[in-house]
Structure 1
Amino acid sequence: MKKVTALLALSLASLSTFAQTTGPVGVRTSTDYDAGTSDSRNTGFGIKGGFNLADVYGDDKKNFTGSSNSKTFHAGLYLQYGFNSRLSIQPELLYSRQGFQGKSTNTPTAGTPTTVNDRRLDYLQVPVLLVFNILDNVSVHAGPQVSLLTKVTEDGRERKIANEGNIYGYSYTSFDYGLSAGAEARVGPARVGARYTAGFNEIIKDQLATSGSKTLTDIKNSVFQVYVGVGFTR
């Protein structure tokens, strides 16, 4: 968590410097408003996408040997509505590939031990963010996020999310929820940002209690994102 905090602080400082030194002269800023209206660059829509540094946290992370993060991607759409010169709300619809690497062995009902190292989890996500402009073209944002698990891949092989009859020895949770926070800079219609999202629901559930097995269920999503986007004002 300390590393994530440091990354966000560094990203915010870099974005602030970038926006102030590279912004085109005469470009309308996020806090420019026409008199008596709510029209500004805080109201509009756009597309975005970028890099995921995905991992997990929780008490059972220690039970996955050789644990490391996954380098993946996300992409999607956003809408934004400005309430005033500083504050706006921004819902998004994202496709995000997450997961983690860490070896575990579990014995399902068939009695044959199964070892998995790499897990890829594909989510359809809806964050709803409150955005505050700390400078004309630099903002911070935070808010809740809900996620629907659409696909699971273990060591390159797709498997069922649900675990009918406990044939795998465990199943995956199809719904996740959490909190996101980050910072963003704008240069013309372009956006550059960084964000951290912590999931609050356990990824794995319904693990079989077998002799000598270690619990694997208390792990949750942890994702650091860097993204670019293009916005269109109303």
Structure 2
Amino acid sequence: MKKVALLLSCCALSVAAFAQDTTTGPRSGRLASSTDYSSGGNGSRNNGFGIKGGFTASNFRGDDKKNFGNEGIYNTFHAGVYSQFSFNDKFSLQPEILYSRQGFKGSNPANTTQTGTYTTRLDYLQVPVLLVYNFLDNVSVHVGPQVSLLTKVKEGDRERKIADDNNVYGYSYNSLDYGLAAGLEARVGPARVGGRYTAGFADIIQDQDLSKTGTKTVNAIKNGMFQVYVGIGISN
């Protein structure tokens, strides 16, 4: 995770440096302009909608992370659509709808039917609502809340229900997650590239029954992920 964070930081700094080097004045030069479309007013770069997708490095965090062995990053993907609504040439609001495949790798210390090191795959439908601030003409910072609905769970090769209605597994998955997303984005014409980190605040696992899962708790863990993406604006 530290290597991924360092890589994303280097990419973000490189993008910011490139944007500054290609800008000799406000909106001067073809590369310096972040206007997505030839038509529209001065704020057209902060209006419109498009598609986006990219790489996700997902893991988990929290008090019970120490109770999992051989934990590691789950490399996967995300994709979806975004829209953007301008307040002025600096600030805008950007809601998104994303399909995000995430989760974590690790060995469960509990006495469950799933043993050894395996990947827990969690598929979410995410809705981040981000405040966008253009601190350079074509580079912006994004920050805002995110709500996620869990749609599918797969533990290793076994797909399982989100709820544990008959107390078969001794724990259930929380169908709702919420958290905070923050990142950096650069734009050239209709294209955009960026990176963001999202921290979930809700526990992934809930309703643990220690009589079935063992003496070590595994429910106090939360989502955490880095995303690197590219996007294309379609219309303003």
Unpaired segments ≥5 residues, structure 2: none
- Indicate conservation of the 8 Å contact 1:38/1:82, yes or no: no
CA shift, 1:13, in A, is 1.1
Q: Provide the aligned length of Structure 1 versus Structure 2.
A: 228
SS of the residue 2:16 aligns to: helix
SS of the residue 2:162 aligns to: coil
Q: How does 1:3-22 map to 2 (within 5 A)?
A: 6=6, 9-20=9-20
In the alignment, residue 18 of structure 1 is paired with which amino acid? F
- Indicate conservation of the 8 Å contact 1:107/1:210, yes or no: no
Query: Which of 218-227 and 98-107 deviates more?
Result: 98-107
Q: How does 1:133-212 map to 2 (within 5 A)?
A: 133-210=134-211, 212=214
| 2:70 paired with 1:76 | no
Query: Which of 86-95 and 161-170 deviates more?
Result: 161-170
Task: Give me the whole-angstrom Cα distance separating, in 2, the residues matched to 1:55 and 1:140.
Answer: 23
| 2:91 paired with 1:87 | yes
Task: Give me the whole-angstrom Cα distance separating, in 2, the residues matched to 1:7 and 1:141.
Answer: 19
In the alignment, residue 67 of structure 1 is paired with which amino acid? E
In the alignment, residue 133 of structure 2 is paired with which amino acid? F
SS of the residue 1:115 aligns to: coil
Counterpart residue number, 1:216: 218
SS of the residue 2:115 aligns to: strand
Task: Give me the whole-angstrom Cα distance separating, in 2, the residues matched to 1:8 and 1:26.
Answer: 26
SS of the residue 1:193 aligns to: strand
Counterpart residue number, 1:123: 124
Identity %: 61
Task: Give me the whole-angstrom Cα distance separating, in 2, the residues matched to 1:8 and 1:131.
Answer: 19
- Structure 2 vs 1, CA of residues 31 and 188 (structure 1 numbering), >3 Å: closer, same or farther? closer
Task: Give me the whole-angstrom Cα distance separating, in 1, the residues matched to 2:62 and 2:22.
Answer: 41
Task: Give me the whole-angstrom Cα distance separating, in 2, the residues matched to 1:118 and 1:9.
Answer: 26
In the alignment, residue 186 of structure 2 is paired with which amino acid? A
CA shift, 1:6, in A, is 4.8
In the alignment, residue 16 of structure 1 is paired with which amino acid? A
- Indicate conservation of the 8 Å contact 2:54/2:228, yes or no: yes
Task: Give me the whole-angstrom Cα distance separating, in 2, the residues matched to 1:183 and 1:200.
Answer: 21
- Indicate conservation of the 8 Å contact 1:16/1:138, yes or no: yes
In the alignment, residue 231 of structure 1 is paired with which amino acid? G
Q: How does 1:40-55 map to 2 (within 5 A)?
A: 40-55=44-59
CA shift, 1:19, in A, is 3.2
1:131-163 CA-partner distances (Å, limit 9, x unpaired): 000111000000000000000011022110010
| 2:225 paired with 1:230 | no
Counterpart residue number, 1:57: 61
SS of the residue 1:10 aligns to: helix
- Indicate conservation of the 8 Å contact 2:43/2:89, yes or no: no
Query: Which of 224-233 and 195-204 deviates more?
Result: 224-233
RMSD: 2.7
